């Protein structure tokens, strides 16, 4: 009998994780039938539709259109909108990805309907409960029946939390599946020409964590520091709408950074891969970008106090420098001085994670 597998996505970092699994499920449509739900947590074309087109993800079967709101509002709306359809369709499995509000909301509803639940990117922990994603990770992992883990630390944390070993599968990093299959295409992207940037002679940057951008003083100090760094090498900063909104709210014209930071709208997946792959270094507070730079061997300076992805530090090219401007400058200086980390690619970040997951689904469903 064909088993129905619901995939729930909602925001930018979900799409490059769901695309490889969707493709692999469609290769096995005699046995597994995907059913794609988009919550609409992200709705701007540049954060959503564009990724469906670039990554060849089929149109969602169901679009919930929940939009933005406070954590409680957004989470509640997702739960209310997804409950009826999940109940009506009664899929054999619900798959959620990563650590966004859509992940946790769908997980709670699925389990209360007694549906089987799989979490892709399970076990990651920052141990910082002021970070909304940490709550989403803990709740989702606690509920999941099948936990697909991307790096060694995930295995360690789940074991320490007492999750039964039979629920845990070390399948590797599914985001890297998307990277591997799109890298050639990305390398041919012409964004460097369009932005008049020279390979190896610019910094690519992103910043959108609430802890960095939601407080006026912190954001101003960070952008001042970034403005200073940009006097030495151009910085291209595709700006997340959360951050853009804060710049406006706080009256920080040009992000308060002086005029060499190229503040542009969020770019597509291929464009951002190209920007990362030829940057001297990447400056970020993103989760996924810490991993992509490690795969690409590009030095990454992460403007956060912690990471839930320690393999990028222990094995990869990532440095966690915190958010103190002096520390950020020192970390960037170190890369400029030729001391950027070389690193290696963690185990099972090899482009075959979706295949391993689908092989397991065939066994367990």
SS3 322: coil
Per CB under 6 A, contacts with ligand UD1 among 289-348 are none
Binding residue for ligand UDP (CB under 6 A) from 10, 91, 227, 266?
266
A 10 A CB-CB count for 164 gives 9
Residue 240 CB, nearest distance to ligand UD1 (Å)?
A: 6
Residue 242 binds what, of ligand UDP, ligand UD1, none (CB under 5 to 8 Å, by partner type)?
A: ligand UD1
Q: For ligand UDP, give the closer residue by CB, 90 or 185.
A: 185
Q: For ligand UD1, give the closer residue by CB, 19 or 100.
A: 100
Rounded to whole angstroms, the maximal C-alpha distance in the chain is 62
Task: List the Cα angle 292/295/299 in 5-degree steps.
Answer: 75
Q: For ligand UD1, give the closer residue by CB, 8 or 168.
A: 8
DSSP letter (8 states) at residue 337: I
Cα–Cα distance for residue pair 262/273, rounded to 1 Å: 17
Whether residue 208 lies in the annotated active site: yes
Binding residue for ligand UDP (CB under 6 A) from 269, 307, 308, 353?
269
Cα 115 to the center of its chain, rounded Å: 25
Tokens of 306: 């912690």
Q: For ligand UDP, give the closer residue by CB, 15 or 35.
A: 15
Binding residue for ligand UDP (CB under 6 A) from 10, 256, 288, 346?
288
Per CB under 6 A, contacts with ligand UD1 among 72-111 are 74, 99-101
Q: For ligand UD1, give the closer residue by CB, 11 or 19.
A: 11
Binding mask 161-190 for ligand UD1 (x = CB under 6 A): ------------------------------
Name the catalytic one among 208, 240, 352, 362.
208
Contacts of 249 (CB under 8 A, 6+ apart): none
Per CB under 6 A, contacts with ligand UDP among 183-212 are 206
Sequential DSSP letters for 165-189: GGGEEE---HHHHHHHHHHHHHHT-
Cα–Cα distance for residue pair 345/27, rounded to 1 Å: 27
Q: For ligand UDP, give the closer residue by CB, 93 or 296.
A: 296
- Using rule CB under 6 A, residue 292 touches ligand UDP: yes
Nearest to 15 by CA among 359, 87, 242, 41: 41
Binding residue for ligand UDP (CB under 6 A) from 16, 109, 311, 320?
16
- Using rule CB under 6 A, residue 54 touches ligand UDP: no
Residue 227 near residue 261 (C-beta atoms within 8 A):
yes
Cα–Cα distance for residue pair 277/262, rounded to 1 Å: 18
Per CB under 6 A, contacts with ligand UD1 among 245-284 are 245
Residue 28 binds what, of ligand UD1, ligand UDP, none (CB under 5 to 8 Å, by partner type)?
A: none
SS3 147: strand
Nearest to 176 by CA among 36, 350, 354, 356: 350
Q: Is 89 exposed, middle or buried (0-12, 13-18, 19+ CB in 10 A)?
A: middle
- Using rule CB under 6 A, residue 150 touches ligand UDP: no
Write b or e for each residue in 103-127: b if 16 or more Cβ atoms lie within 10 A of its Cβ, otherwise e: bbbbbbbbbeeebbbbbbbbbbbbe
- Using rule CB under 6 A, residue 349 touches ligand UDP: no
Question: Total binding residues for ligand UD1 by CB under 6 A?
Answer: 20
Binding residue for ligand UD1 (CB under 6 A) from 49, 68, 152, 306?
68
By annotation, the residues acting in catalysis are: 208
- Contact residues for ligand UDP (CB under 6 A)? 12-13, 16, 206, 238, 266-269, 272, 286-289, 292
């Amino acid at each position: 009998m064909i088993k129905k597998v619901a995939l729930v996505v909602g925001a930018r970092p979900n799409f490059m994780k769901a695309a490889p699994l969707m493709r692999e499920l469609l290769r096995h449509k005699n046995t597994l039938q995907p059913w794609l739900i988009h919550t609409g947590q992200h709705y701007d074309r540049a954060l959503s539709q564009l990724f469906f087109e670039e990554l060849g993800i089929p149109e969602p079967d169901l679009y919930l259109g929940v939009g933005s709101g406070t954590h409680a509002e957004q989470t509640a709306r997702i739960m209310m909108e997804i409950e009826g359809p999940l109940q009506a369709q009664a899929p054999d499995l619900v798959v959620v990805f990563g650590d966004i509000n859509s992940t946790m909301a769908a997980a709670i509803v699925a389990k209360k309907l007694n549906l089987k639940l799989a979490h892709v990117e399970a076990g990651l922990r920052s141990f910082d409960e002021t970070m909304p994603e940490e709550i989403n990770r803990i709740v989702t992992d606690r509920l999941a029946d099948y936990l697909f883990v991307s790096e060694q630390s995930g295995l360690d944390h789940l074991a320490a939390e007492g999750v039964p070993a039979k629920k845990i599968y070390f399948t590797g990093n599914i985001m890297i599946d998307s990277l591997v299959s799109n890298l050639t295409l990305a390398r041919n992207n012409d964004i460097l020409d369009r932005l008049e940037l020279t390979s190896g002679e610019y910094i690519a940057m992103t910043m959108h964590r609430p802890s960095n951008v939601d407080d006026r003083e912190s954001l101003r100090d960070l952008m001042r520091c970034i403005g200073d760094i940009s006097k030495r090498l151009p910085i291209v900063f595709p700006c997340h709408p959360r951050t853009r909104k804060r710049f406006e709210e706080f009256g920080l014209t040009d992000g308060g950074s002086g005029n060499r930071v190229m503040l542009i709208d969020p770019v597509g997946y291929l464009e951002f891969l190209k920007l990362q792959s030829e940057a001297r270094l990447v400056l970020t507070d993103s989760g996924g970008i810490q991993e992509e730079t490690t795969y690409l061997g590009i030095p990454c300076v992460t403007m956060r106090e912690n990471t839930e992805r320690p393999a990028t530090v222990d094995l990869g090219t990532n440095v966690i420098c915190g958010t103190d401007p002096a520390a950020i400058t020192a970390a960037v200086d170190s890369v400029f001085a030729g001391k950027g980390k070389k690193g290696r690619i963690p185990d099972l970040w090899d482009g075959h994670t979706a295949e391993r997951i689908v092989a397991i689904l065939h066994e367990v469903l």
